[in-house]
Amino acid sequence: MASSGPAGQAVLVTECTGVFVVLLQGTFDHQRDLDLLDMALEAGHLTAKQVIIDLSRTKDLSARMLNTLLRQRHRAGSLPWLAGPLSAPVTRRLEITGTLKHFTVFATLREAAAHNRDQ
């Protein structure tokens, strides 16, 4: 599942043992990008695997993108894990909105996957 927009936006999905990874790249201001992210999150939920959002290639986190991620708590019963390294603007958005404390955040995707294996 991948989408490329004019500014290089992309949602790439990878399924590994025990985890469902959604790699985000670029910014997500177009509704079709947000719809694609929403579909990827729903697909991850249906696998019953831990969903990890890889934000290492995302420079900013729009309010609409954050809302799409937060809706997963109502749909799936839990939030996806976030993997970085997170950029300063992404971290700032999470801190300013008070949502950082609600997400499980890992420094890297590898660290998140290893934590999932250890559970």
Question: pLDDT tens-digit profile of 75-118?
Answer: 878 999 999 999 999 999 999 999 999 999 999 999 999 999 98
Q: What is the mean pLDDT of residues 24-45?
A: 87
Q: Could you report the per-residue pLDDT of 40-70, keeping only the tens digit for each? A: 999 999 999 999 999 999 999 999 999 999 9
Q: Which residue has the higher pLDDT, 33 or 94?
A: 94
Distance of alpha carbon 99 from alpha carbon 36, whole angstroms: 22
Peptide bond into 89 cis (omega under 30): no
Return the SS3 of 116: helix
Domains in the chain, CATH or no CATH each: 10-118 (3.30.750.24)
pTM, entire model: 0.87
